[in-house]
């Protein structure tokens, strides 16, 4: 299987990071309408989304030679 990440532009990566952050905020917002047990699961997923967005952003900053 080939790595599709090479076909993505920096703008694509930025949109992916933005979407992950939006999803994290949405999960946080939804967490107020559920039980405490479910809230913990949503917060865990929110943390994963935000951490992945940060990792992808740092990865893109480490490779500034890729043009948009």
What pLDDT does 20 receive?
97
Joined together, the tokens standing for residue 29 give 């917002």
Say if pTM beats, i.e. exceeds, 0.85: no
Cα radius of gyration (the chain): 15
Question: What is the model's pLDDT at position 67?
Answer: 47
Secondary structure (3-state) at 61: helix
pLDDT at 23: 97
DSSP string for 2-58: --GGGG--HHHHHHHHHHHHHHHHHHHHHGGGS-HHHHHHHHHHHHHHHHHHHHHHH
pLDDT for res 8 = 87
Give the model confidence (pLDDT) of 10-59 as tens digits.
899 999 999 999 999 999 999 999 999 999 999 999 999 999 999 999 98
């Amino acid at each position: 299987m080939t790595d599709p990440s090479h076909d993505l532009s920096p703008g694509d990566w930025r949109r992916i990071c933005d979407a992950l952050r939006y999803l994290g905020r949405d999960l946080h917002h939804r967490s107020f309408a559920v039980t405490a047990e479910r809230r913990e699961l949503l917060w865990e997923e929110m943390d994963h989304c935000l951490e992945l967005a940060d990792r992808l952003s740092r990865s893109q900053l480490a490779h500034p030679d890729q043009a948009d």
